[in-house]
Amino acid sequence: MKAWEHFKTITYHKYLVMKGCFAVGLYKQGILHDMSKYSYTEFSVGARYFQGDRSPNNAERETIGYSSAWLHHKGRNKHHYEYWIDYSMEQTKGFVPIPMPTKYIVEMLMDRIAASKVYNKGHYKDSDPLNYYNRGRDFAPIHKDTKEILEPLLEMLAEKGEQDTFAYIRRELLN
C-alpha cells in the first residue's frame, strides 16, 4: 500500500511540475522532471519511508543518518542547487556553489511550488514556497547569482501569485 501511495504522490508532484514548466515554455524539462524518482534506488526508499506529509528522504535520514535516495537524486537532477557544487580553484575554499542556468532555477521554482502543494494539500498558499526557502536559506550553499534570480521569483509568487510570476518568467527570464 505504501508503494502505491508513494507512486501516486511522486506522479502527482511530477504532473504539477510539468504543468508549471509547460506554462513557461520549458516542455522538455517538464516531461523529464524527476524521472530518477522512479528508479529502484529512489523509489524503494520512498515506498519504505512514505508518510504522505513530508519527504520520505527525511525519514530515511532520521533512521540511518543519511538519505541514499537523496544522494542519488541530487546528483542526477539539475534543478537542485546541490547539483551545482564543485571544487573551488582556490584550495582554501574547498567546495563552492556555482551559478545555476536560469532554466534550472525556474524548474527549481516549479519543484518548490509542486512540493508545497503536495505536502500542504488543500492548505497551499503562494507564500508557502518562500516560507520553506526562508527556513533553510542561511544554511543553503546557493551561489549569489542563483539567489539573485530565485529569491525575487519566490517573493513575486508570494505577492502576485502564479499567473503574474509565470508571465514574468516567460516574458523576461526565458525570452
pLDDT in tens, the chain (175 residues): 899 999 999 999 999 999 999 999 999 999 999 999 999 999 999 999 999 888 999 999 999 999 999 999 999 999 999 999 999 998 888 999 999 999 999 999 999 999 999 999 899 999 999 999 999 999 999 999 999 999 999 999 999 999 999 999 999 999 8
In three-state form (DSSP H/G/I as H, E/B as E, the rest C), the secondary structure along 20-59 is: HHHHHCCHHHHHHCCHHHHCHHHHHHHHHCCCCCCCHHHH
pTM of the predicted model, to two decimals?
Answer: 0.95
| Helical residues (DSSP H) of 65-101, grouped into ranges | 68-74
User: Which of these, 111, 30, 129, lies nearest to 73 by C-alpha position?
Assistant: 111
Task: Tell me the sheet residues that pair with 97.
Answer: 85
Query: Which residue do the cell numbers 525556474 mark?
Result: 106
Confidence (pLDDT) at 53: 86
Residue ranges covered by each domain of the chain:
2-173
pLDDT of residue 56: 95
Partners of residue 87 on adjacent β-strands: 95
Pairing of strands 85-87, 95-97: antiparallel
Element (H, E) at 87: strand 85-87
